Structure 1
């Protein structure tokens, strides 16, 4: 869609839901040569996950493993299986991008999540591919437990995985 050409910057990251984080890290790190940047466990009120961020030449993969049977990641795996959970696209202006997408019936599924130097929103899952897109506007920030918990709460309130 050419109408977004000036707003889209690049793919920010690809999030992949996995059953075994350690085995997946081994594949991306030891076999494919991705650098392990960060591992973390994030626990929200109802949902939790173990995650690993890997980078190779600017290509960022985020591996997500469920923490508990009722977490959003386990619900995603139950509904869709392991694999790509979402693709995040960096944008220069999240509101302008959303307004153009809304005009083409690609509405946001949750409200914009504000973090320290980071803003993100998730779109409805694409009917054709099954992929959910995340729009992310970075202003020097990155994910932390607070922003991840805001995401958990947003998904829990809307009952989406």
Structure 2
């Protein structure tokens, strides 16, 4: 995957391009077309927010992924649009950590989300 970040004030857009037909990004586009893959929502407590949403019937494709200063989780993709929501809690970490990204893609592969 090739990616680039576009930042404006408190909003960050991450643009992604698959590097081969079997990459997760390429498979997502094949399945749903180009567009927004997910929207990240800042929360104060990722685990609590996930539990509250699960109680309301919201399905998740990942467990809570933890790294130094960063925890995140992803809802299941909408079957029509392919879009999901990310719940993200930051405490000092501004960017994204390679270990978190690797764990995310591993869990998404296991859940068949792409």
TM-score, structure 1 length as denominator?
0.65
In the alignment, structure 1 segments of 5+ residues that lack a partner are: 1-48
Say if 1:81 and 1:127 are closer, same or farther in 2 by CA, change over 3 A: closer
Residue equivalent to 1:91: 43
Residue equivalent to 1:31: none
Give the structure with the larger strand fraction: 1
RMSD (Å), alpha carbons:
1.6
Equivalent runs, 1:34-113 vs 2, <5 Å: 49-113=1-65
Whether 1:131 and 2:83 are equivalent positions in the alignment is yes
Say if 1:73 and 1:129 are closer, same or farther in 2 by CA, change over 3 A: closer
Say if 1:92 and 1:110 are closer, same or farther in 2 by CA, change over 3 A: same
Secondary structure of the equivalent of 1:84?
coil
The CA deviation string for residues 51-72 of structure 1, in whole angstroms up to 9 with x for no partner, is 1111112221110111221111
Please say if residues 77 and 113 of structure 2, whose CA atoms lie closer than 8 Å, have aligned partners that are also in contact: no
The CA deviation string for residues 66-116 of structure 1, in whole angstroms up to 9 with x for no partner, is 122111101100000111010011100011111110111012221111122
Mapped to 2, the partners of 1:159 and 1:86 lie a distance apart of 16
Number of residue pairs matched by the alignment:
113
Please say if residues 59 and 75 of structure 2, whose CA atoms lie closer than 8 Å, have aligned partners that are also in contact: yes
Secondary structure of the equivalent of 2:36?
strand
